[in-house]
Homo-oligomer: A and B are copies of this chain.
Amino acid sequence: MSTTASFFVPVQDQIHRVEHLMRSQAEGHNPDLKAALDHLISSGGKRIRPTLTILTGRMLGADEDRLVTLAAAIELLHTATLVHDDLIDGSLLRRGIPTLNSRWSPGATVLTGDFLFARAAKLAADTESVPAISLFATTLGVIVNGEITQLFTSRCRANRDEYYQRIYAKTASLFETCTCCAALISPVSAETTTLVRQYGYDIGMAFQIIDDVFDFTSDQSQLGKPVGSDLRQGLITLPTLFFLENHPDDEDAQEILAGDCLHYDEQVSRLVEKIRTSEAIDLAMAEANRFVDQALEKLQQLPECPERHHLEQLTLYITRRNS
């Protein structure tokens, strides 16, 4: 599957407007910022978050201009967090394209991320919805708090609750913000807002679990990084958690359960191979599908319309996409 998946078609024009609005944020500012923003936007993904925002808002009767503004705010916030993440992780490539920190000094990279935060906040303010702006700011706090917790928490911790908290902070909180903010700028009831917020939560959780599965099942050329790179960095994700639960006697599993990181590349590679060929992959996918089913159930409670149909397609796409 690619960005030509059917549900992307009806939002093509809006996505172009979103990208144009993102690019325009550097206008009147330093030309180096314009160059950085152009680079970041040209190398940027499938725009799943703006697509989700626009389809949700359109379904609920939001004004198109405000919706484009909101979608640009969210995607720019997402971009800003990636700029700082790549710097902190020392990543030189993202989606096969050089990161900002691979070319610029740490200082310039920090400030560019800060600038994107500032302009994302300005775009959020441009929606003129105080509840949407407030949720937007809260979510940035949740995302950053999650990253700090990950940074300060000892690696190789195997705990399902911690995993769910981490992927909520990392991914689901922003998906939830996409759908909830779209509702907050729409003429709908508090019940509908809660419903689409939960829908955003569900697909966000599914999205990250599947990303974590792909980290084991895709090959290096698809991932743009070594297979099992999470585990290699000491990050325990759902496939590993299932493997540990089902194979407590495995020698590598025992080491992790004892609270140790695996120290040798060969040992990690061996464990990655065991996990990717085990039932842990199917169990993790089943967990992702449970969130997908919950998401679809939420959609069923909304009036039928073309956008609801597109959102169903987007929800199903989450599990079938390539990484």
Contacts and interface: CB of A to CB of B under 8 A. Distances in A.
Interface of A: 29-30, 32-33, 81, 84, 87-88, 105-108, 110-115, 117-119, 121-122, 124-126, 128, 130, 133-134, 136-138, 140-141, 143-145, 147-149, 151-152
A152 B84 contact: no
Contact of A152 (B30, B110, B118, B145): B30
A140 B117 contact: yes
A151 B107 contact: yes
A152 B122 CA distance: 24
Given A107-B88, A110-B110, A149 B118 contact: no
A141 B29 contact: yes
B147 A111 contact: yes
B118 A126 contact: no
Given A29-B141, A121-B136, A133-B133, 19 more contacts: A30-B148, A32-B148, A32-B152, A84-B114, A88-B111, A108-B151, A110-B110, A114-B140, A115-B148, A117-B117, A118-B144, A119-B141, A121-B137, A122-B138, A124-B137, A125-B133, A126-B134, A130-B130, A130-B133
Contacts of A149: 30
Contacts of A122: 134, 137-138, 141
Given A106-B106, A125-B133, A134-B125, A111 B141 contact: no
Nearest to A125: B134
Nearest to A111: B148
A225 B25 CA distance: 37
